[in-house]
Amino acid sequence: MRIIIICDMKPVMPPTLQTSVNAGASSAATGDPLRKAPETAAPNPPVAQRVVPSRQLFGVANEVLIEHAGFTYRLRITQANKLILTK
């Protein structure tokens, strides 16, 4: 039996991540004209990650087939209630 489930879900946003940028001393503060101030990169915005409950994927079945990059993978629930993904 083959079961392929396609879900259209809304993304769930994780809590906002706090980032702190610790800037070093600038060249003006040290008095050394050859010393460059360290560059600070802008923090990346948090990426939305979807959380899909396994029961929503599996329903009453114990396995689903997932197509990815031209390959079919089998995700199944074992008797010990663990997940196994095979190609």
CATH code of the domain in which 64 resides: 2.10.70.10
Phi, psi for residue 72 in degrees, rounded to 5: -110, 125
Phi, psi for residue 27 in degrees, rounded to 5: -65, -30
| Residues in CB range of 69: below 8 A, 6 or more apart | none
**Distance between CA 30 and CA 23 in Å, rounded?**
14
pLDDT score, position 1 = 47
- Tokens read off for 28: 């003006």
Q: pLDDT tens digits, residue range 39-82?
A: 777 777 778 888 889 989 999 999 999 999 999 999 999 999 99
Residue 2 lies in a domain: yes
pTM: 0.46
Residue 67 domain boundaries? 1-6+50-87
Query: Structurally, how many domains does the chain consist of?
Result: 1
